[in-house]
Structure 1
Amino acid sequence: MTLVHRTEVNLVASADRVMCRIFIPGDELHLPGVSRAENVLERIGWLTDAQVEEALARTIDRFEGRHRHLNREFELHFEAVSHLISDVSAVSASRRALIGAYFTQEYAFESTAYFNPSMVAHPDQSGVPEGSLRFVMSVRAVGEGHISSIVFRTGLIGPLGEIEMDPVSKYATTR
């Protein structure tokens, strides 16, 4: 009886998929004194409306193709630093988005390694061919800075044990 059967499935690390995460310069929570985030906000405040529009358009053009809801990420990250702004109501939508962009970092969460796969039966087996099984696979992914994440993939095991992985979305999210 063979317990291990090698297949052609090869899970490889890739820096192609990235996610947005909050970026606050310095150690805001642990060090007393002037916030580096306040300095960034002050510099953004010096920009003219035209400079804000140009910088925001350039940023969106460079990053939008890799993120499904980029503007939502910018808004969430703006909200994270908005307590440092004296009059939030006076900040235009474009300036809010640019501030959020300044506090956004792309992170390649599966760029270094992929290992420890584990498969379980998918709870939804509807539409699966006779003798096959849809599965969910968890994989430990290591990204930049050697930070580990759990990645989920799906696929199908055929009646003869063949494994077919579903294609992954080019977009990644934690929400």
Structure 2
Amino acid sequence: MAKGSHYNFLYTLIMLLSVSTSHAAYRHDLVRSSCVHASYPNICLRTLSTYGGSAGTPRDLAQLAVRVSLAHVRRGSAFLSQLTVRGRRERGALVDCVDQMGEAMDELSDTLSDLKNLRRGGDFRWQMSNAETWVSAALTNEDTCLDGFKEIGVNVRADVRRRITNVARVTSNALYLIDLLDDQSP
């Protein structure tokens, strides 16, 4: 290879690495700047930073946040499904909680579908309203899960409370990121 072609190759390689690095930095900045005012900014950063490279736009980030929330709900539901409880009333509250988590999964799936189809032949405001409604309903179901234990006078186990509270916080952050999209509407 001629000396000039080595320089061209190195120059091209350096430019590609520079563009790639700046693009990754933009995506990381998108996560950081979007999470800074979320209800739970540390959780937002922690849960989305590892996947932030796949989010190039605020819409991508909102979809990612919903997918992360959905994954947390699935894991929370699986955790709850494997618990054993003593009393009939506590067992009933646990079954209801698992049902609530199942509904939250459905609602987050609907939210994700609405976000994927945003602006495709539909009214942006209507689609955003649907997405916000679905994720709000999922958040309500997660909160209702814990409330069911309180209503029957049974103390919620610390591990259940911690798990469901974390799921609700991740979902709350997803709602925040969806709301940011609404603020950027056309």
For the criterion TM > 0.5, the same-fold answer is no
TM-score, with normalisation over the residues of structure 1? 0.31
Structure richer in strand, relative to its length:
1
